[in-house]
Structure 1
Amino acid sequence: MTPRSAAPLPPPSERRRLREACSLTQAQVAARVGVSRATVHAWEHGRTSPRGHRRESYAQLLDSLAKETAAQEATGEPEVTKRQQQPRPVSPEGPYADPAPPTPEPWRERRPLTPAQAFDALYAFCAPALARQTYLLTGRRELARESVERAFQLAWQRWPEVARDRDPAGWVRAAAYDFALSPWHRFRPRYRHPEPPPADASDRVLLDVLLELPPPQRRTLLLYDGVGLDLPETAAESEASTPATARRLLHARAAIADRLPPLSDPAELHHRLAELASAERLRAAKPAVVRDSSECRARFWTRAAIAFTVALIGTTALTLRTAPTQYEPPVPPGQTVLGVPPKVAPGPLSAEEQKLRAKLRSELQHGPERLAPQPQ
């Protein structure tokens, strides 16, 4: 028997283009093929290549996407396919899966989005899952919501930079993680006392184990086993080398396996992290509120900078106005004139001065002796 030839696949860049042309996320493609989102990500970047029946399934899916894209380009209008009519499949990524963006109407596709509309779309796409992720990092619900809002406020202030970024969701996620893991929160009065733990006993144990990990290990574990990033992307987002990231991941898994042996399997750990994050109902603010808060914060700091500059200019002008125009030497120390010592401030007597005082007290003064009555 001759071995069956492998199914042909397009280049990695073409795989990603076909998926994006049909408005599919990596999580949805992974659910169809039966793999994880990180595996699809690696296929689209050319790091790995599918084999066996997964290669055939992936090749058939790409072929159908290519035909659908060709049909759309021929007609000039997007077709309402069965994929859009059927309900969205449940992804194995749990709460970390990227929701499928809504299919725009034909007249909206030809009209570019305004910056506010693009920001609102990114916020609706990332904020719910990001709030659950930051809750696993900190164990605090209010801090998780505040971290997500601060990250998106910073993204709105730097929107031209974020809009041109290759991965805007990763940019916002890194900003939210940095704010959530800041050590300065321990000095804030509202975060000095712990919040109520989860209701389920197993969730409480898992959250306690996570919070006992050092922050770098906790962040690496969440990015790799929670979000589903591969090791180089996890290292880049956590600003560490790949070997250091691998060591952090191994130490974090070992610490969790010591306390919770059933979670030694990475797949089971991913499932439990998804369940723990989904148990908390964290509601994010409206995107318009976040944009308004970002603009108010920017105006406040701009006015504060202007006020500080004006105060500095006024202080400098006052100093120049009141400063002396010529050099004035300091008052020299006193000198002895004709044996008379200079006047000094009162203070403790030296040894010579104490000796002189005793001598003056022991000797009589010059002149006649005083008459003193004597008893008869």
Structure 2
Amino acid sequence: MTRSTTDEAAAPQLPSPKERRRLREAKSLSEEQVAAAVGVTRATVRSWETGRTSPRGRKRALYAKLIAPELAAPTPEPAAPTPEPEAPTTTPPAAAPVPAGVGVAVPAGVGVAAPVPVGVPVGVPVAVAVAVATQGHPPEAPPDAPPEAQVPVVVADTAAEGEAEEKREVGTEAAGERRLSPAEAFDELYARTAPGLVRQAYLLTGRRALAAESVERAFQLAWHRWPEVAVDRDPAGWVRAAAYEYAMSPWHRLRRAHRHPDAPPTEPGKQALFDALLDLPPAYRRTLLLYDGVGLDLPETAAETEASTPAAAGRLMTARAAVAERLPELAAAGSPAEQSALLHDRLGGLARAEHVPVPQPARAVRTGSEDRARLWTRAAIAGVALLIAVTGLTLHTAPTHYEPPIAPAERVGGVPPRGGPQKLTAQDLKLQKSLREQLSHGPERLLPQLR
């Protein structure tokens, strides 16, 4: 039995894998309950929520109806063709874009404003609506927009972008589209996230060269572990965490090139924010950048900084208070949401104002990762060969049997021991001298006289 194209077109639209898990947890449903209701195993439900697979057919409809009933509502179809003209539907296609200027802004501190596409039912999250309208790709800025608006620097990782990343990094797309090779998926991830990560690393360290080096090392590590990164829920987050860890390593203080931060901006407001960031402890600085700069929520920020949620909230409040002492407008904000929005704008402006190094091409990063892995492999092989050679030489020169040591001789009755050459005592030396000086006549030879 074949599946027709009309059945595929009538299949309900599912949210991103991250949104599927969030909707399931919001309804207080466990993976076992969803698996029992749909008729699959728990591992299958988990693969749906990680983006490795996607439900099809009747299971897709049941799954969509269970976690998002508004998305599973079927579109009414006419029973038979009638001569009367059909009334125009009020719902355009789901992929129809919204006219310019119409949209719903994301709450402060979460990300940039995103328009809600026409045709998406009411109640669908904004991130899912953007994914439906843009076919999984983020909206592009108009060609006449300023350079700051065309290249997003510090933007939140929305669910739509995460879904598109998971599809591209794994190397599989929707049915009928071309499969991406691992190199193509890596290059696309690098081109989309590397420039913003370099600017984020600059805000984290205050050093332009170290920021570019950190991002390059993080992507080299990602290419070296690409089978692991490709199936990760958030490949961009994996690379970001690796870049932050390398940039914040305390060993960089021993390097002369990275011992001191670069010169601060000349504008007073940006200089005050720059100094306030560098004065914060590294953990507090990272928490502030992830929450107010990148736009992660508090649990995700706590998970990436390897801290509990209350600890991350405490670091965030302390960091905001320290920055507010340098920025009067931040202290004058009425609510935490306004402070988060203001910090988001200020951090983005500071990152865009500085001329950070341009990342290397993705091909150069992949080649560098392969060369680095090849160098370490050859070094490991050489070390093992040297160890084998030393072990063989030791086995060749080592004694093959055990020889017990000879017990030291002892003096008996004042007579020197007979055991071979040994150190003479003062009495032995006096006796030797006397024997050499006296003549060998008579009994004196047997019993010399000592003076």
Query: Structure 1 length normalisation: TM-score?
Result: 0.68
Q: Determine whether 1:188 maps to 2:223.
A: no
> Could you tell which deviates more after superposition, 226-235 or 271-280?
271-280
Q: What SS does the aligned partner of 2:203 have? A: helix
Q: Determine whether 1:114 maps to 2:172.
A: no
Q: What SS does the aligned partner of 1:259 have? A: coil
For 1:143, the equivalent position in structure 2 comes to 210
TM superposition shift of 1:323: 1.0
Richer in helix (by share): 1
For 1:281, the equivalent position in structure 2 comes to 355
TM superposition shift of 1:191: 1.6
For 2:103, the equivalent position in structure 1 comes to 32
TM superposition shift of 1:294: 0.5
TM superposition shift of 1:116: 0.9
CA offsets, 1:169-228, max 9 Å, x none? 000000000000001111123222442322323222221211111111111110001000
Q: Determine whether 1:297 maps to 2:364.
A: no
TM superposition shift of 1:59: 7.9
Do 1:36 and 1:93's aligned partners in 2 also have CA atoms closer than 8 Å? no
Equivalents in 2 of 1:169, 1:85: separation in Å?
A: 21
Equivalents in 1 of 2:144, 2:195: separation in Å?
A: 18
TM superposition shift of 1:91: 7.5
CA offsets, 1:3-38, max 9 Å, x none? xxxxxxx985478x99xx9599xxxxxx92112486
How many residues of Structure 1 are paired with residues of Structure 2 in the alignment?
304
Equivalents in 1 of 2:284, 2:237: separation in Å?
A: 18
Q: Determine whether 1:260 maps to 2:321.
A: no
Residue type matched to 1:155 in 2? A
Match 2:154 to one of 74, 91, 96: 96
- 1:160-175 maps to which residues of 2 (within 5 A)? 160-175=227-242
- 1:288-327 maps to which residues of 2 (within 5 A)? 288-327=363-402
Do 1:33 and 1:57's aligned partners in 2 also have CA atoms closer than 8 Å? no
TM superposition shift of 1:87: 5.5
For 2:302, the equivalent position in structure 1 comes to 235
Do 1:37 and 1:93's aligned partners in 2 also have CA atoms closer than 8 Å? no
Residue type matched to 2:355 in 1? R
> Could you tell which deviates more after superposition, 164-173 or 332-341?
332-341
TM superposition shift of 1:127: 0.4
Q: Determine whether 1:248 maps to 2:248.
A: no
RMSD, matched Cα:
4.2
TM superposition shift of 1:86: 5.9
> Could you tell which deviates more after superposition, 242-251 or 128-137?
242-251
Q: What SS does the aligned partner of 1:32 have? A: coil
TM superposition shift of 1:57: 9.2
Equivalents in 1 of 2:300, 2:131: separation in Å?
A: 27
Q: 1:335 to 1:208 in 2, by over 3 A?
A: farther
Residue type matched to 1:96 in 2? V
Q: Determine whether 1:205 maps to 2:272.
A: yes
- 1:75-90 maps to which residues of 2 (within 5 A)? none
Equivalents in 2 of 1:60, 1:249: separation in Å?
A: 26
Residue type matched to 2:351 in 1? A
TM superposition shift of 1:84: 7.6
Residue type matched to 2:318 in 1? H
Equivalents in 2 of 1:170, 1:161: separation in Å?
A: 13
Equivalents in 2 of 1:332, 1:59: separation in Å?
A: 90
Match 1:158 to one of 225, 229, 232: 225
Q: 1:366 to 1:129 in 2, by over 3 A?
A: closer
Do 1:157 and 1:295's aligned partners in 2 also have CA atoms closer than 8 Å? yes
Q: Determine whether 1:271 maps to 2:345.
A: yes
> Could you tell which deviates more after superposition, 184-193 or 163-172?
184-193
Equivalents in 1 of 2:302, 2:122: separation in Å?
A: 32
TM superposition shift of 1:266: 2.5
Equivalents in 1 of 2:144, 2:424: separation in Å?
A: 92
Equivalents in 1 of 2:370, 2:96: separation in Å?
A: 32
Question: What is the percentage of aligned positions where both structures have the same residue?
Answer: 54
Equivalents in 1 of 2:154, 2:250: separation in Å?
A: 26
Equivalents in 2 of 1:276, 1:327: separation in Å?
A: 75
Equivalents in 2 of 1:61, 1:179: separation in Å?
A: 31
TM superposition shift of 1:96: 1.2
- 1:5-44 maps to which residues of 2 (within 5 A)? 13=20, 32-36=103-107
Equivalents in 2 of 1:123, 1:222: separation in Å?
A: 21
Q: 1:234 to 1:339 in 2, by over 3 A?
A: same
